[in-house]
Amino acid sequence: MTVAFIFNILLILLLIGLVVSFFVYKIKKSDSKEATDELSREREKYSIEKMKAFIKKQFDEITRMNLYDLALSEEEFERRKNVKYELKKALRGAGYADKNDKKYVKTLMFDLLRNNYKVNSFNINNAIPFDNFDSLSSQDKFEILMHVYKKAYKTDALTQIITKYNLDMPKYEFDPEVPSYVITSREIDQIFAAEITDDTLTFDDKLEIVVQRIYQEYKGYSVVDDIRDMNIDGVSGGVSGIPPSFLDQLTDMDDYLEQMEGRKLPMSYDSVWIFYKGKATYLSFLSFGSETELKRVCQNIYKYNNPGQLSESVGYKINEMKDGSRVVVLRPNFSESWAFFVRKFAPPTLISAEQLLVHENKETVIELLKYLIRGARVTAITGEQGCGKTTLLMAIMKYLYPTITIRVQETAFELHLRKIYPYHNILSLRETDTINGQEGLDVQKKTDGGVNILGEVATDPVAAWMIQMAQVASKFTLFTHHAKTFPNLITALRNSLLKIGMFNSENVAEVQVVQVINFDIHLKRGTDGTRYIERITECIPLEKEFKYNNDYKKVNDMDKKMDKFMDNAVEYFTHMTQTSNYTYKNIVEFVDGAYVFRNPISEENIKAMRDNMSPEDVKSFDNFIDMAWR
């Protein structure tokens, strides 16, 4: 066998090997591409967006299906009809923050994804990377934490997280000299690392978290959907960051960024705030993601009971949600960006003065509040926004005699006293597009009202209604107001009477006000979020009655007669130009963390209070007077 022959054989084998290797490479490359494409298709199929599209399609099919075309048996027809009706009802109620409807919709979504869409413990990681904690966003981590805590604490979940990790402490996050209340992504990362391990979540837990994400982007309120349900004071969005209109007006962005030290600018849709224990706290780790999403939330969150359309000509809406929360929504051009404010009120089980007031000597102050109510004193509850005026008003109604009927006039239903005191005779009225407050007040006068309550005296007409109610419509009146001092309260009410034309004289208008107001309970919120009664003030009207000196009639000398007549004129003008028609005194003050009883209640008010109390309360009230100001 020659060398040439061997060489040719080797060459042929080499060529065959190369051909085989080439085909193997092509086959592997094809398989790899197919595997990659398959992986990509699965990743896309089980993304949040695709699953949301699937849920929408399924719900549309259920709610729009014509059952008469399916030739169903009578039993199956009724079953599907009920499912269709329940789903349509639940989808509508879920948009109004009805917890039962929300639970129904989420349960149906859970079943559809697991049984029909075939979501399992592997492909679910394409929606949220539960298998790779490093890939989780701050929103992912927060929602996982919320889910874990909700299982244990329900609506107190957020409160538990904040309390356990002291997240409500002021931080120098944005300014080294000025602290602010903020919860950062760094803190969420640290809490997540401390709380969550690889085996914390079951598959059902993961699917419930995915369902919540889909729900909040489909029918819910985006990133604030779960937060809104928590036991906090409120939540708002669109109230910080750069409005889109500002960027349109900015011609030199580079200079602006340089002034901002090159920091990433938060936009208005990056704005999520909660109101927690009196503290406005910025959740800097959450964002609506786009102006479109913030707009969607604003356009849906106020829709309960069809309050009318939010539009450019109607730039704001004030309404209530199904759970009694107050919601205010604003839009451009009335406001600089889309924004909403949800103000939650403490649930009935938490309403008590003992829980609201926490400082030293609070028991004696609470007893005084009881006697002011049972003594039928016209009382204002004043203070800045968020200081607890409405909550205190709801709490002290507990001390009213059950035999006295209650009538409430509000702009939007907020007090919900019948939920707290279901055995009292209570009726609440509010303004509508066709019935104004004055008409409501006129109707109230014919409903056997014992005590009239005004939720908030915030406009001139409402101030006039309050004076009317206190004078003729009921036994006594309670109301809230934003006045900072007692003279401010009197001046504001007086000016309101002048503005709407009830009086032309400042003096006469002020007399009407001071003859009505008996006491002012002024609330304040400390820098740490604590709320307390700063003072309780008594209003004391000054009498202006005087008698003319008629001696000038007995004098014959004209000069002396004129002198005596001028004395009467001076007396008259002195009274008419008197700078004030009232004086006032603080009967209780908050000093160094404790309530101090200063000046005793006037004899006139003590007598009037005793006349309105039961014999048993009169005795205890007399003892209280002797003890409190001894």
Q: How far apart are CA 467 and CA 494, in angstroms?
A: 10
Q: How far apart are CA 109 and CA 71, in angstroms?
A: 27
The pLDDT, as a whole number, for residue 576 is 62
Write the CB contacts of 398 (distance below 8 Å, at least 6 apart in sequence): 351, 352, 353, 420, 421
Write the CB contacts of 479 (distance below 8 Å, at least 6 apart in sequence): 380, 381, 453, 454, 455, 456, 457, 466
Place of tokens 């032309």: 504
How many beta carbons lie within 10 A of that of residue 558, not counting itself? 8
Query: Hey, what are 326's tokens?
Result: 């107050």
Burial of 381 (0-12, 13-18, 19+ CB in 10 A): buried
Q: How far apart are CA 150 and CA 64, in angstroms?
A: 34
The pLDDT, as a whole number, for residue 554 is 64
Burial 54-86 (b: 16+ CB within 10 A, else e): bbeebbeebeeeeeeeeeeeeeeeeeeeeebee
Q: How far apart are CA 166 and CA 171, in angstroms?
A: 11
The pLDDT, as a whole number, for residue 1 is 55
> Strand 272-276 to strand 594-597: parallel, antiparallel, or no bridges (unpaired)?
unpaired
Query: Hey, what are 367's tokens?
Result: 């007893």
Mean pLDDT of each 10-residue bin along the chain, 630 residues long: 70 77 67 60 85 92 78 78 86 86 92 91 91 93 95 92 92 84 94 92 95 93 93 91 70 51 74 88 93 93 87 88 87 90 71 80 92 92 85 88 86 78 85 76 77 81 79 80 90 88 81 89 82 92 67 66 73 66 90 91 92 92 88
Q: How far apart are CA 448 and CA 376, in angstroms?
A: 16
Burial 110-140 (b: 16+ CB within 10 A, else e): bebbbeebebeeeebbbbbebeebeebebbb
The pLDDT, as a whole number, for residue 457 is 81
Q: How far apart are CA 316 and CA 20, in angstroms?
A: 74
Bridge partner list, 274: 235, 281
The pLDDT, as a whole number, for residue 263 is 55
Q: How far apart are CA 330 and CA 351, in angstroms?
A: 30
> Strand 582-591 to strand 594-597: parallel, antiparallel, or no bridges (unpaired)?
antiparallel
The pLDDT, as a whole number, for residue 297 is 94
Place of tokens 């507990």: 398
Q: How far apart are CA 180 and CA 281, in angstroms?
A: 8
Q: For residue 302, give the amino acid letter.
A: Y
Q: How far apart are CA 44 and CA 46, in angstroms?
A: 6
The pLDDT, as a whole number, for residue 562 is 75
The pLDDT, as a whole number, for residue 83 is 82
Q: For residue 260, give the amino acid letter.
A: M
Write the CB contacts of 223 (distance below 8 Å, at least 6 apart in sequence): 139, 216, 272, 286, 287, 288
Q: How far apart are CA 455 and CA 478, in angstroms?
A: 8
C-alpha distances out from residue 385 to 278, 282, 471, 528, Å? 10, 18, 28, 15
Length of the chain: 630
Write the CB contacts of 42 (distance below 8 Å, at least 6 apart in sequence): 123, 126
Q: Assess contact for 508 and 502: CB atoms under 8 A.
A: no
**φ, ψ for residue 217 (rounded to 5)?**
-85, -15
Query: Hey, what are 59's tokens?
Result: 């719900």
Q: How far apart are CA 453 and CA 462, in angstroms?
A: 12
Q: Assess contact for 539 and 581: CB atoms under 8 A.
A: no
Our CA angle for 390, 396, 399, nearest 5°, is 155
Q: Assess contact for 410 and 432: CB atoms under 8 A.
A: no
Query: Hey, what are 487's tokens?
Result: 């003279």
